[in-house]
C-alpha cells in the first residue's frame, strides 16, 4: 500500500499532521455519505492510492478533549458545532520532528521525534514522546512547557487573523467575515471579545453600524457584550440608532437587559454567556459539553443534556446555576410553562 495522506489536527492551538486514522462515528446522525462525484470534488486525494480510506478528517484537541471538525471525501459532517469524539479509544500519533526513514506503505515512515496521545472516550488521558534519533533544538519534543510556548506563538498569529477580520468588518465585507467564522469557531469566539485599540469599537459595533442582524445575533450568542462602550461613549445600540437601523437598535437594547452582575459574559472567549431572558425560552440539547458563565463560576452542561436558550442563543441560567429548568431562588421554574 502507498504511503497514506495524513489527517489534520489542531492540538491545543497548533496545526499538526496526524499519522493514524481515528475511527469515524458511522452511526452518528451528523455523519453523512457523499456521492462519488461530490466526494471527488471535496477531496483532491479521493482517487489517489495515497488515500485508500477515501476521506481526510480534520480534528481538534482543546482542553484535553478531542473533537471532529470536518471531513472531506467520502463522508461529510453535517453543519454544527465541533463533534465531541466520545467514541474514540485509540492512540494519536503526531510527528513533530524530521523524517528519518521513509516507508512506502501506510504510516510506516519514522520521524526523529513523535508525539503520542492516549485517547479514552474522547479525552486525552496520557501523552508521551518517542525518539527515533537524538532530538535537536530545531525539533523539540512536545511537553507542557513547549506546548505553552507554541500556544503563545499560535495566539499571536490568531490575533493577527482577528485583526484582519476586523478590518474586513470595518469596510462592510460581512459576507467574507461570516463565511470565515462559519469555518472557524475558535476565530468567532475571539472576535466576540475583541476591542479595537484606540477606538474601543467591537465587532458588535461594526455589525450594528452596517445593520447586519445575523452578525449581531451570532456575536451575542458567543458572549459579545451589548453594554460595551466605544471610546466615544456609544454602545452598539446607539451606533445602530445613529445609522438609522432602529429595529436593530431595539433588539440590541433588549439583549442588554440580560447583562448584570450574575449573567455577565466571561472574559475567556471559550466560555459561553448565560441569560435571564426566561420568557424567550427555546428548548434544545447540548451536542457537546458546554461551559457556561454564571456569576463568578463556570457551569458545565454535559453533552446530550436538555437546556434552554434565549432568542440570541445564550444559555438560560437560573439562580444557583440551574438550567433544566432555570429556577428561581426558591427552586421554582422560571419558565412560563414548566417542561
Domains in the chain, start-ordered, CATH in brackets?
7-142 (no CATH), 143-256 (1.25.40.20), 258-339 (no CATH)
Examine the pLDDT at 299 and tell me if it is beyond 80: yes
Mean pLDDT of the chain: 85
Nearest CA to 226 among 174, 275, 293?
275
40: exposed, middle or buried (Cβ count in 10 Å: 0-12, 13-18, 19+)? middle
Q: What CA–CA distance (Å, rounded) separates 318 from 308?
A: 10
pLDDT in the model for residue 15:
78
- Give the distance, in angstroms, between the CA of residue 237 and the centroid of all CA atoms in the same chain: 27
pLDDT in the model for residue 288:
86
Average pLDDT (313-324) is 91
pLDDT, greater one: 217 or 2: 217
pLDDT in the model for residue 162:
86
Q: What distance separates the 2 farthest-apart alpha carbons in the chain?
A: 67
- Helix 213-222, helix 174-183: angle, nearest 10: 30
pLDDT in the model for residue 296:
66
Examine the pLDDT at 261 and tell me if it is beyond 70: no
C-alpha cell at 216: 449581531
Average pLDDT (281-288) is 92
C-alpha cell at 203: 465587532
Which stretch of 120-124, 150-154, 291-295 has the lowest confidence by average pLDDT?
150-154
Amino acid at each position: 500500500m502507498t504511503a497514506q495522506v495524513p489527517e489534520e489536527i489542531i492540538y491545543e492551538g497548533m496545526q499538526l499532521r496526524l499519522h493514524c486514522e481515528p475511527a469515524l462515528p458511522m452511526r452518528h446522525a451528523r455523519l453523512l455519505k457523499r456521492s462519488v462525484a461530490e466526494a471527488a470534488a471535496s477531496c483532491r486525494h479521493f482517487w489517489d492510492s495515497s488515500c485508500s480510506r477515501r476521506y481526510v478528517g480534520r480534528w481538534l484537541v482543546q482542553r484535553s478533549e478531542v473533537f471532529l471538525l470536518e471531513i472531506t471525501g467520502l463522508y461529510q459532517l453535517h453543519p454544527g458545532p465541533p463533534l465531541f469524539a466520545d467514541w474514540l479509544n485509540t492512540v494519536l500519533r503526531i510527528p513533530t520532528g524530521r523524517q528519518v526513514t521513509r516507508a512506502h506503505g501506510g504510516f510506516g515512515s519514522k520521524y526523529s521525534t513523535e508525539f503520542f496521545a492516549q485517547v479514552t472516550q474522547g479525552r486525552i488521558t496520557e501523552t508521551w514522546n518517542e525518539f527515533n534519533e537524538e532530538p535537536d533544538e530545531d525539533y523539540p519534543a512536545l511537553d507542557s512547557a513547549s506546548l505553552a510556548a507554541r500556544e503563545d506563538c499560535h495566539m499571536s498569529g490568531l490575533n493577527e487573523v482577528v485583526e484582519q477580520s476586523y478590518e474586513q468588518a470595518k469596510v462592510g465585507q460581512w459576507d467574507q467575515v461570516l463565511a470565515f467564522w462559519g469555518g472557524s469557531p475558535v476565530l468567532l469566539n475571539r472576535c466576540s471579545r475583541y476591542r479595537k485599540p484606540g477606538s474601543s469599537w467591537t465587532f458588535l459595533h461594526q455589525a450594528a453600524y452596517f445593520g447586519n442582524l445575523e452578525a449581531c445575533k451570532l456575536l451575542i450568542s458567543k458572549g459579545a457584550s451589548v453594554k460595551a462602550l466605544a471610546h466615544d461613549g456609544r454602545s452598539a445600540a446607539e451606533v445602530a440608532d445613529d445609522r438609522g437601523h432602529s429595529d436593530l437598535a431595539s433588539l440590541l437594547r433588549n439583549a442588554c437587559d440580560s447583562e448584570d452582575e450574575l449573567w455577565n459574559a466571561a472574559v475567556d472567549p471559550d466560555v459561553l454567556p448565560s441569560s435571564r431572558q426566561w420568557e424567550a425560552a427555546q428548548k434544545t440539547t447540548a451536542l457537546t459539553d458546554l461551559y457556561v458563565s454564571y456569576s463568578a463560576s463556570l457551569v458545565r452542561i454535559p453533552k446530550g443534556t436538555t437546556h434552554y436558550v434565549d432568542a440570541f442563543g445564550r444559555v438560560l441560567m437560573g439562580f444557583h446555576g440551574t438550567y433544566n429548568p432555570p429556577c428561581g431562588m426558591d427552586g421554582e421554574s422560571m419558565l412560563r410553562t414548566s417542561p
